[in-house]
Chains A and B, each alone.
Chain A
């Protein structure tokens, strides 16, 4: 959204922009219409597409929840976070531990509380929120880039803990995930066995699909309402000018920590959902690359907008999957393991992913949402304030000036 208003001239901030921040993509009836259409398509999709697309779509939905959360923190509050993978891991392992049973698997002793999965999901989200809250001495005081690298530490420390706290996480090989269930109805291929709807077999992917869709909608609505209300305006004020916000009576440090906690809880939910899709969680998945993917999602989608986060999440998740699947039909690509020194499909996917990030940012700094709205720069030119001083974006550099 319109993040480019200069921080040096708070008075130049048009009051209207908060209204537009609060209503991402909902100008008139076009927005709700488009959202309804997309939801309707998603509702009928499991009846038409193959398992590959369902799986990819599920990953995209989990990523969308996480990206919405990161966008609340980075897009709206202007705090860079590279620690999102850590909070995803908290949610995933939290769910597995709350829902899993204690016992021996092979040579390893695993602990777990064996709670009902739905309760475990709620507890996992709360746990992630608490962990995010514990980080508040840092998240409340640091800004911008400093917070970005400080959260980088969480990824590495978290990875270390995941490898070593073997009774909770299962160590390097990970731990299998208890499937979600509601009163005897499990989100797996069995129980009830051979479930069919309109002649289509409803297995794990189809059942998870509707569960994930509900979660995404709830997450998106919550975020939208949060942004439209008092907290959203306070956070936007903190981003645009901390001093002005403090003068207006916004407790800056508390709102910063709160944004961090809420964003962690979103990540926790996304992590738990990812765990259910994967059936098994392993520490190596939750590395720095995952954090970077999430950051790429919100920037490619468009900072500060819920729609942008969802679009970016879909783009970043689906693109590599589709590229790897169809890479062999692309020119200049050789089959994996072939002796020719060509580009393998996985590498081709990485190239296109990197190029996509660079090209989107070069030609549409406002993100894909900016493109959809016909203003790739993010802010209409008439309202763009000229900045002469050192680069002061919505992310603070933490240096004086």
Chain B
């Protein structure tokens, strides 16, 4: 029973990290119609900035700096590459983000080399014991921070002028533009928000029980793809549901792996994709994605 509780808590923590990443995908997709493959490298950039700065600035300031840097770089990607090509195909833009990802990842992995960088987070390797259930401090912090950030995001989305224009732009770009909403600015802020969330996610991906930030940390962002898709690419709430499903599936599969050896090693890495395929057979636009409607 305690094992199950531990697995569920860990799955929840993993799911909340995925949620931070998946929300970034969804926000960018809603604003630009692009699936952002450069997200992995933005995440790595966030983690790298914290790792380099925490000795001089302390963890909190370094994290703040990382959030700003990553948001700024995400914004630059939008201004330089996405905005100018606004009328070309989504196909082309998606591949373009792959090109950006290759450039950024190459630069970062060259600087990181084969090192495992510590982020100097305040939770270290602390573990809490709640009636026999062991959970790392970093995991608890992760859940708390994610809940706060995601709550803030949804509140902003629902109640602020920015959220309103964002929703209007996602609903109908043309009508929103005619109503005086600055689409360029909406798109820019969307990219910046996604970048900032990725930087925070990087900290928790590199925190205990992970050893630290290494060159492959960015690849974990890929696991948020199934999360975003199975929830529905154009639904922020769907991204949350999808992330929890993916996090719990991965944790359960990894936790009970010894009972399922016939399925092979490292099942936890593959299970989210299997779940995604099953959901997509059932609902082709994801759990909460809007159904396609067409007027003839």
Contacts and interface: CB of A to CB of B under 8 A. Distances in A.
Interface of A: 3-4, 74, 80, 137-138, 141-142, 144-146, 148-150, 152-153, 156-157, 160-161, 163-164, 242-243, 247, 288, 292, 295-296, 299, 303, 343-344, 347, 350-351, 353-358, 361-362, 365, 387-395, 397-401
A343 B107 CA distance: 9
Contacts of A357: 95-96, 98-99, 102
Contacts of B179: none
A350 B106 contact: yes
A74 B29 CA distance: 19
A365 B233 contact: no
Interface in B77-120: 81, 84-96, 98-103, 106-107, 110
Contacts of A156: 269-270, 273
Interface of B: 29, 32-33, 35, 37, 81, 84-96, 98-103, 106-107, 110, 172-174, 222, 225-226, 228-229, 233-234, 263-267, 269-270, 273-274, 276-277, 280-281, 284-286, 289-294, 296
Contact of A74 (B32, B91, B277, B289): B91
B98 A295 contact: yes
A354 B103 contact: yes
Contact of B94 (A80, A137, A389): A80
Given A344-B110, A389-B174, A400-B292, 20 more contacts: A138-B281, A145-B29, A146-B285, A146-B286, A148-B35, A149-B228, A156-B270, A157-B274, A292-B98, A303-B91, A347-B106, A356-B99, A357-B96, A358-B99, A387-B87, A391-B93, A393-B89, A393-B92, A397-B29, A399-B285
Nearest to B281: A137
Contact of B106 (A150, A157, A351, A361): A351
Contacts of A365: 85, 88-89, 92
B207 to A, nearest CB: 25
6 contacts: A144-B90, A149-B276, A150-B229, A160-B266, A358-B103, A362-B81
Given A152-B225, A358-B81, A299 B92 contact: yes
B225 A398 contact: no
5 nearest A-B pairs in the assembled complex, by CB-CB distance: A393-B89, A357-B99, A164-B264, A354-B102, A153-B273
Contacts of B106: 347, 350-351, 354
A344 B109 CA distance: 12
A395 B89 contact: yes
Nearest to A356: B99
Contacts of B277: 138, 150, 153, 157
Nearest to B102: A354
Interface centre among A4, A138, A400 (most CB of B within 10 A): A400
Nearest to B103: A354
Given A299-B91, A393-B88, A160 B99 contact: no
Nearest to B88: A365
A145 B92 contact: no
A362 B85 contact: yes
Contact of B264 (A144, A145, A160): A160
Contact of A394 (B29, B91, B281, B293): B91
A237 to B, nearest CB: 15
Given A145-B35, A156-B273, A388 B99 contact: no
